[in-house]
Amino acid sequence: MNSVDTSTDTAHVVICTTGGTITASTTPAGVVAGDSDAATQAMLDGLRTVLPGSVRVSARTLLDADSSTFGPAEWDRVVDAVADVLTDPGVSGVVLTHGTDTLEETAMALDLHHTDPRPVAVTGAQLPADHPEADGPANLLDAVLLAADPVSRDLGVLVVLGRAILQARGVRKWHTTESVAFARNAPDLPVEDLPPELERPTLSGRARFAGTRVDVVSCPPGSDAVALRACVEAGARGLVLEGSGSGNLPPLVAEAVAELSVERPDVVVAIASRVPRGEATATYSGPGGGAELATRGVLSCGYLRPGQARVLLTALCSLTDAADPTEGAAEIRRQWPRFHLYS
């Protein structure tokens, strides 16, 4: 699926495909289903008819599945593939086509590793390729033009859908069907006023997500600690708890977290918020309040919501290779402030 003649005067963008709605079609029963390589080829052929002559594209098929089936193993595969593409100095940028269900996690995994100045744009679609108002072609064109543009350098991984361009950290799918599918939860500050913590810190090495268990546990009002304890017994090295407000927990969950801090200090616990926007902080007192939990080593997830916080915590657990698991967990807690406003 490589494009034809090359030229040193043209920007070369590599499109890495993983399936998703952007190449899906609708069955006679009205069900959206993944399509074959032919749909991907048709997508690329259509793209080439509208691209300016200053941009050429080639493509690599990485995966071909609904992104709801993706997890740590797929994050590893995508991170490796994008890094491999960027070993070619002739590549100007990368576009990753991805299903929107779990796009925010994959984008986070990529961004944590992305130290190359060349842009990586992640895009997808809300409507299948055979829909009369399919949004995939416009999203793909926008993503390719962005990845080819030198102005996009040094911005990290960018999510491009519905004419919106968003930096990866803090991104979350906010609507199941609308074309503007994603919003970004981040500090509302002018670029010149951003503190050093917002300079997109990256990992110190290559994380391996597969094989490192970190679970997300929802903690709605009145919930108990059954799910939390089950995750620990299953071997979780970290837990992201979805609390309320700025990061507060129900009494029974807070009690279990306090016990866990004594019984299993090797398990890292972080608290995110179920609130769509704003920061989770160690603010409130009381047994379930963030301030009290912080005294027990519990981390606040800042502007990240549970999905991306899980990716970050998994990466840090993967990179911490301490002989003593308790010391390893303590090292993760020491590293966390590096990512603190986005974590």
Report the catalytic residues.
21
Task: State how far the Cα of 128 lies from the Cα of 25, in Å rounded to an integer.
Answer: 5
Strands 32-33 and 25-26: antiparallel
**How far apart are the C-alpha atoms of 341 and 319, rounded to whole Å?**
21
Integer CA distances (angstroms), 28 to 32, 107, 165, in order: 10, 33, 34
Residue 16 buriedness (CB in 10 A; 0-12 / 13-18 / 19+) = buried
What's CA 217's distance to the chain center, in Å?
Answer: 18
Which structure tokens are listed for 282?
Answer: 């160690």
* Cα–Cα distance measured from residue 117 to residue 92, given in angstroms and rounded to the nearest whole number: 10
Q: How far apart are CA 180 and CA 170, in angstroms?
A: 16
Contact 125, 139 (CB under 8 A): yes
Q: How far is CA 187 from CA 230, 281, 290, in A?
A: 35, 13, 20
Q: Nearest Cα to 162, choosing from 175, 149, 152, 148? A: 175
